[in-house]
Structure 1
Amino acid sequence: MNIGGGAGAVLGTTSGISNLASSLAARLGGSAGSYFDQLRPASFRGVPFVSLGGEGAFGRRNETHEYPLRDTPWVEDLGRGTRRFRVFGFLVGDDVIAQRDLMIAACEKEGAGALVHPTYGRRDVSLMDSRWIERWEKGRYFEVEFDFIEGGPRVFPASSVASGSLVESAASGLNVAAALNFASTALTALSYGAAVLGEAVNTAVGWYTSAKNLVGDARNLFRLLTNLPGDFGRFAGSATVPTFSKYPSSSVDTSGATVASLTLAAAAARANLDTASANLDVAARSLDASSIDDFTTAVQGVTSAMLAATPDPADSMRLLTSLASYAPSGVTTSSTIGTAMATMQSASADLFRRSTIATVAVAASSYEPTSSDDAARVRGQVLGLIDAEMSIAGDQNDDETYEALCSLRRAVVSDLNQRGAGLPAIRSFLFQASLPSLVLANRIYRDASRADELTAQADPIHPAFFPTSFKALAT
């Protein structure tokens, strides 16, 4: 670029530049103000200079992989390329030497600095090189050329644990420990005959019947629609924006699902639960020392089928938590056989409850919290079940189950703490008058497009008439 030639034109009068801009604008269409009013005064680290123009280099970082006997290469995209700016400018004035010294000091300063470019605006850049030209015939005028690259903060590698996998592993450990403790208690009771076996069957029937009734919950069926693309209103949730939906764990379905196909899938899932319940019934009726494993496996099959029949993790936790509170209603006597029947009833209930708690923890690992407060709420809900069961296992000297519950507790805490740490908190907002969601979203977040999000969080009677006080995401 001929900097000197461009500078000669600039060294003319201001009115000359204005006339030239107006002439060019008239030839190209539009007005000079529509472009020149957008330009910003150039500076680097706060030291101003006059920009004559520049060059930029942008694109992607691509690595080309070529293979023998293959005509076309595979191009691996490694991310956005480094943005490079070459800026041409000058300093002018009676104090041009002082201006140059200030600019040289700015160029030699350590670290990145702020570049204000006439068209790109403010950028955090690192100066790679600068060149100065002084011409004796131009007197108080120095030319300068800068080479910048846009940079960012220093980022170090960070290790993270797949906390969801840890929860599933700990849940499997709890199922194994619960089965072991059940076997050690149930085998002794079974030696007292058919009445004890009948108590196991009755307890199992009551439990899986409760599971089947819970899966038919109306809310569980209604929430099937939240997996469809589109906005179904704040009472049903919006699958288009699952991050702040009223049902945040719902995800957008991209497989072309319809109401009919989702209903069919839900019916198939409930049929699988019926099959799992039937398997448990058969295992309970043939329960003996050789079929203990079949019985405990059938119990876990019921909880797994119930989890699969509730596609929304929030619903899964709600329904499974209800199932975890199941208590057998059979009445026993104080006789020897009656005591054995009570022992079998209690052991079966313990096994059912612990398998359900393990499944609740797995459902919580799939739940996507909307805020750090939401993550803390879910964590407290799951830990409440685990802590209560730890007390029962400790009182019964079920050491294996107690240790497995401790491991599951640690995994749940780690998982929800890790996933909730980067989410914003919920805070209370107070306004003097009722305002519409668009106004509030712009005032709180400086982004009117978050009005639907705000509506889902605050749940007003109508989005145009928010209450004067409500709770929503802080940021």
Structure 2
Amino acid sequence: MSGFVTTAISGLLGQLRPASFRGIPFGVRGGGKALGRRIVTHRFPLRDTVTHEDMGRLERSFTVEAFLVGADLITRLKRLEAALETQGAGRLVHPHYGSLDVVVTAAKVAWSEARDLAQISITCEQYDPPAPQPAGQVNSGSLVDRLGLSSIAALVDEYSSLLTLDGLQDFVTSQLGAQLGGLGIGIGDIAAVYGFAQQVRSAVAGLLSWIDTGSDPGTSAAVVTEAIAALGVASVAGSTPDALLRVAAAGVPAPAIASDTPSKRAALSNAQALDMLVRGTAAAEAARSAAVVDFSSRDSALAYRDQVTAAIDDAADLAGAMGWDASWRGLMDLRAATVTHITRTAAPLPRVTSATPAETTSSLLLAYQIDGNTLVTLEDRAADIVRRNRVAHPGFLPGGAALEVLTDG
């Protein structure tokens, strides 16, 4: 009898083709599919004919006869049962049906531990996602961009109203020019670290040469905001918006100037106003960058949210202490909108976690083991593993080493 059973199982194995549900593999040797139209037949008294009303396409129902064979039958069966009872649609990969999202409506299990064989009859229906409905919703990214520009405009207005050079000694203008030049050097150094010095060269040149181009007080705000904006554009293109946060944190510290003469008091006031303008503008541009940058994970988005809000808080505190009321209000409105936007953006993104393959494997296989339910993005996930962990070859991830990976969990 045992020989007959062994022969029967061996014959069955030869007929099975690979399939999976929610990434749990099993074998199949066929299946069934129900399709057609939903027809309502209308019958009327004293009439020999009927009419038929078409109510739309019949739900596409599939019958899958799944088989599990092997010594670890119980463990694999429990994993498949858990997948079948998970709420919502799941990805079915079938040799005949292809790859599609389905909702399991029923399943029946028959197994024999002695024979290391389980048969699972699965009934499921193709998942049709609901059609998107129009909704009145604020474009949070557009709001952040608009409030960012408004806060920068308020900073420029209050800076310009305080800045004074006329009728003062020449060192006041020289001192402001030296600070603008120092800011230009700082922005150039930061851009060089991130690899986009060329993109900000023209704007940096405007800061460095301000004192040689007429030294018009009104143009100092323009060269500052243009340079920081150029750094923002370059950092967004390189997906490194934190470059702006370094400018916001550094600012332009005011030099030690005694305030015992009108010119020295003016020089000190100018230096403090410039520092406020730089910190506030850099924080606002960092918030605007959040509206357009593509975050790779929920963790990176939320981390950037916390960094930007901290920079805005610091700038707002300084504005409040200096009596820049319009700038303070603008920064506070920008902070609220930024928190809302980044939190909403982060919600659907994958999380960063770690995975340790037991043995050397490929990035594609590891990505499938982590989240085989999302085959559409499988190659992107595999490429992210290689890039995120700086792996030399995508086909050879080291076994036993913890790797940083993305997961939808």
Normalising to structure 2: TM-score of the pair? 0.62
Q: What is residue 465 of structure 1 aligned with on the other side?
A: 398
In structure 2, distance between residues paired with 1:180 and 1:315: 29
In structure 1, distance between residues paired with 2:238 and 2:406: 21
In structure 2, distance between residues paired with 1:377 and 1:86: 44
- TM-superposition CA deviations, 1:38-66 (whole Å, max 9, x none): 432x5xxxxxxxxxx98769xxxxxxxxx
In structure 1, distance between residues paired with 2:189 and 2:221: 21
How many angstroms does 1:377 deviate by? 0.8
Higher Cα Rg: structure 1 or 2? 1
Q: Which runs of 5+ in 2 are unaligned?
A: 1-14, 18-27, 38-55, 63-93, 105-124
Q: Is the counterpart of residue 426 in structure 1 residue 352 in structure 2?
A: yes
How many angstroms does 1:354 deviate by? 1.7
Q: What is residue 183 of structure 1 aligned with on the other side?
A: 160
- TM-superposition CA deviations, 1:300-357 (whole Å, max 9, x none): 1222223344463433432552464133463312312322211111111211222222
Q: What is residue 443 of structure 1 aligned with on the other side?
A: 369
Q: Is the counterpart of residue 387 in structure 1 residue 309 in structure 2?
A: no
SS at match of 2:405: strand
Q: What is residue 94 of structure 1 aligned with on the other side?
A: none
**Match for 1:393: what amino acid?**
A
In structure 1, distance between residues paired with 2:96 and 2:253: 74
In structure 2, distance between residues paired with 1:457 and 1:348: 39
Q: 1:375 to 1:34 in 2, by over 3 A?
A: closer
In structure 2, distance between residues paired with 1:118 and 1:201: 72
In structure 2, distance between residues paired with 1:310 and 1:375: 15
In structure 1, distance between residues paired with 2:203 and 2:387: 33
| Corresponding pairs, count | 304
Q: Is the counterpart of residue 315 in structure 1 residue 245 in structure 2?
A: no
Q: 1:468 to 1:434 in 2, by over 3 A?
A: farther
Q: What is residue 197 of structure 1 aligned with on the other side?
A: 173
Q: 1:270 to 1:39 in 2, by over 3 A?
A: same
Match for residue 362 of structure 1 among 284, 288, 305? 288
Q: What is residue 24 of structure 1 aligned with on the other side?
A: none
Match for residue 207 of structure 1 among 156, 160, 183? 183
Q: 1:212 to 1:284 in 2, by over 3 A?
A: farther
Q: Is the counterpart of residue 300 in structure 1 residue 225 in structure 2?
A: yes
In structure 2, distance between residues paired with 1:467 and 1:150: 39
Q: What is residue 230 of structure 1 aligned with on the other side?
A: none
How many angstroms does 1:282 deviate by? 5.4
In structure 2, distance between residues paired with 1:378 and 1:401: 22
What are the within-5 Å matches in structure 2 for residues 275-354 of structure 1?
275-277=205-207, 280-281=210-211, 285-287=215-217, 292=218, 294-310=219-235, 312-318=237-243, 321-322=246-247, 324-328=249-253, 330-336=255-261, 337-354=263-280
Q: 1:424 to 1:320 in 2, by over 3 A?
A: closer
How many angstroms does 1:201 deviate by? 1.8
**Match for 1:425: what amino acid?**
R
**Match for 1:388: what amino acid?**
D
Q: What is residue 163 of structure 1 aligned with on the other side?
A: 140
Identity in percent:
21
Q: 1:123 to 1:420 in 2, by over 3 A?
A: closer
Report if the CA contact (8 A) 1:171-1:359 is conserved.
yes
Report if the CA contact (8 A) 2:254-2:272 is conserved.
no
**Match for 1:302: what amino acid?**
A
- TM-superposition CA deviations, 1:195-233 (whole Å, max 9, x none): 32332222212212222233233x415xxxxxxxxxxxx
In structure 1, distance between residues paired with 2:251 and 2:127: 59
In structure 2, distance between residues paired with 1:34 and 1:428: 34
Report if the CA contact (8 A) 1:429-1:471 is conserved.
yes
What are the within-5 Å matches in structure 2 for residues 392-403 of structure 1?
392-403=318-329
Q: What is residue 332 of structure 2 aligned with on the other side?
A: 406
Q: What is residue 30 of structure 2 aligned with on the other side?
A: 39
**Match for 2:203: what amino acid?**
L
Q: 1:195 to 1:123 in 2, by over 3 A?
A: closer
In structure 2, distance between residues paired with 1:170 and 1:315: 21
- TM-superposition CA deviations, 1:264-292 (whole Å, max 9, x none): xx74x3443245436744577122xxxx3
Q: What is residue 49 of structure 1 aligned with on the other side?
A: none
**Match for 1:357: what amino acid?**
A
**Match for 2:275: what amino acid?**
A
**Match for 1:456: what amino acid?**
R
Q: What is residue 173 of structure 1 aligned with on the other side?
A: 150
Q: What is residue 76 of structure 1 aligned with on the other side?
A: none
Report if the CA contact (8 A) 2:174-2:211 is conserved.
no
SS at match of 1:473: strand
In structure 1, distance between residues paired with 2:127 and 2:260: 81
Report if the CA contact (8 A) 2:247-2:279 is conserved.
no
What are the within-5 Å matches in structure 2 for residues 2-401 of structure 1?
38-40=29-31, 42=32, 152-154=128-130, 157=133, 158-187=135-164, 192-217=168-193, 219-221=194-196, 267=198, 269-277=199-207, 280-281=210-211, 285-287=215-217, 292=218, 294-310=219-235, 312-318=237-243, 321-322=246-247, 324-328=249-253, 330-336=255-261, 337-401=263-327
In structure 1, distance between residues paired with 2:127 and 2:402: 42
In structure 1, distance between residues paired with 2:127 and 2:312: 48
In structure 1, distance between residues paired with 2:312 and 2:397: 43
Match for residue 456 of structure 1 among 387, 402, 409? 387
Please tell me the root mean square deviation across aligned C-alpha atoms, in Å: 3.9
SS at match of 2:296: coil
Q: 1:320 to 1:354 in 2, by over 3 A?
A: same
Report if the CA contact (8 A) 1:196-1:341 is conserved.
yes
